Structure 1
Amino acid sequence: MNSVSVIIPTYKRSKRLSQAIDSVLKQTYKNIEIIVVDDNGINRFQKDTKEVLKPYIEKNQINYICHNTNLGGCKARNTGAFAAKGEYISFLDDDDFYEPSKIEEQINFIENNKKLDACICSMYRIDENNVKIESRENIARGKTLKEAILDGNLFTSMLLIKKSVFIKLEGFSEIPRFQDKYFHYKFLSAGYKIDILNKQLLTLVEHSESRISSLSAKKIITSLNLLTQFENNHNHLFSENEGYYIKYRHLIKKVEVLCAGKYSDKLKSLLYCFKSIKYASKKNYHYIFKLMLKSLLPNFIIKN
Structure 2
Amino acid sequence: MTTLTEPPNRDTWPLVSVVVPTYGRDEYLEDALRSVTEQTYDNIELFVVDDGSSIPITETIDEEGIPFENLESVTFIRHNENRGANVARNNGIRSATGEFIAFLDDDDWWHEEKIARGVNAFLTGGENVGLVYNGKQTEGADGTTKMIPSVEGDVVTDLLEGKEFGQFSSIMVRSSVIDEAGLPDERFPSWQDREWLFRIAQYCEFKPIPEILTYRRVGHADRITRDFQTQRDVTYPMFVEKHEPLAAEYGWYYRRAFLASLRLNLARTAVRADEYEEARKYFWRGFAANPLYRPLYPHLLPSLGGKWTYKPVTVVRKQISKVASLLG
* Range of TM-score over shorter length: 0.7 to 0.9
Question: Does structure 2 retain, via aligned residues, the 8 Å contact 1:146–1:237?
Answer: no
- Give the TM-score of the pair, scaled to structure 2: 0.74
Partner of 1:120: 133
Secondary structure of the 2:145 match is coil
Question: Does structure 2 retain, via aligned residues, the 8 Å contact 1:97–1:203?
Answer: yes
Distance 2:108 2:272 in 1: 29
1:180 equivalent to 2:193? Answer yes
Distance 2:131 2:174 in 1: 6
Shift of 1:209: 2.6
1:246 equivalent to 2:258? Answer yes
Letter in 1 for 2:108: D
Secondary structure of the 1:201 match is strand
Secondary structure of the 1:118 match is strand
Secondary structure of the 2:34 match is helix
Partner of 1:301: none
Within the candidate set 269, 290, 299, 1:287 is matched to 299
1:92 equivalent to 2:104? Answer yes
Letter in 2 for 1:179: Q
Structure 2 segments unaligned to the other structure (5+ residues): 1-12, 308-328
Distance 1:198 1:171 in 2: 26
Q: Residues 113 and 76 from structure 1, CA distance in 2 versus in 1: closer, same or farther, beyond 3 angstroms?
A: same
1:192-231 matched pairs, under 5 angstroms? 192-210=204-222, 212-213=224-225, 217-231=229-243
Partner of 1:71: 83
Shift of 1:32: 0.6
Superposition RMSD in Å: 3.5
Letter in 1 for 2:84: G
Distance 2:137 2:273 in 1: 31
**Deviates most, 231-240 or 93-102:** 231-240
Question: Does structure 1 retain, via aligned residues, the 8 Å contact 2:156–2:198?
Answer: yes
Distance 1:173 1:289 in 2: 36
Question: Does structure 2 retain, via aligned residues, the 8 Å contact 1:91–1:160?
Answer: yes
Distance 1:260 1:124 in 2: 18
Partner of 1:39: 51
1:137-152 matched pairs, under 5 angstroms? 137=147, 139=149, 141=151, 143=153, 144-150=155-161, 151-152=163-164
- Give the TM-score of the pair, scaled to structure 1: 0.79
Distance 2:123 2:261 in 1: 36
Within the candidate set 6, 20, 25, 2:32 is matched to 20
Secondary structure of the 1:69 match is coil
Letter in 1 for 2:145: E
Within the candidate set 50, 62, 68, 2:59 is matched to 50
Letter in 2 for 1:126: E
Structure 1 segments unaligned to the other structure (5+ residues): 296-304
Distance 2:210 2:282 in 1: 36
Paired residues in the alignment total: 288
Letter in 1 for 2:112: P
Partner of 1:300: none
Letter in 1 for 2:49: V
Identity, in percent, stands at 20
Shift of 1:14: 0.9
Distance 2:37 2:123 in 1: 22
Question: Does structure 1 retain, via aligned residues, the 8 Å contact 2:189–2:230?
Answer: no
Q: Residues 286 and 34 from structure 1, CA distance in 2 versus in 1: closer, same or farther, beyond 3 angstroms?
A: closer
Q: For each residue in 1:30-50, what CA deviation from the matched residue of structure 2 results, as whole angstroms up to 9, or x when unmatched?
A: 111111111134x24x36x52
Distance 1:75 1:253 in 2: 24
Distance 1:228 1:169 in 2: 18
Distance 1:114 1:101 in 2: 20
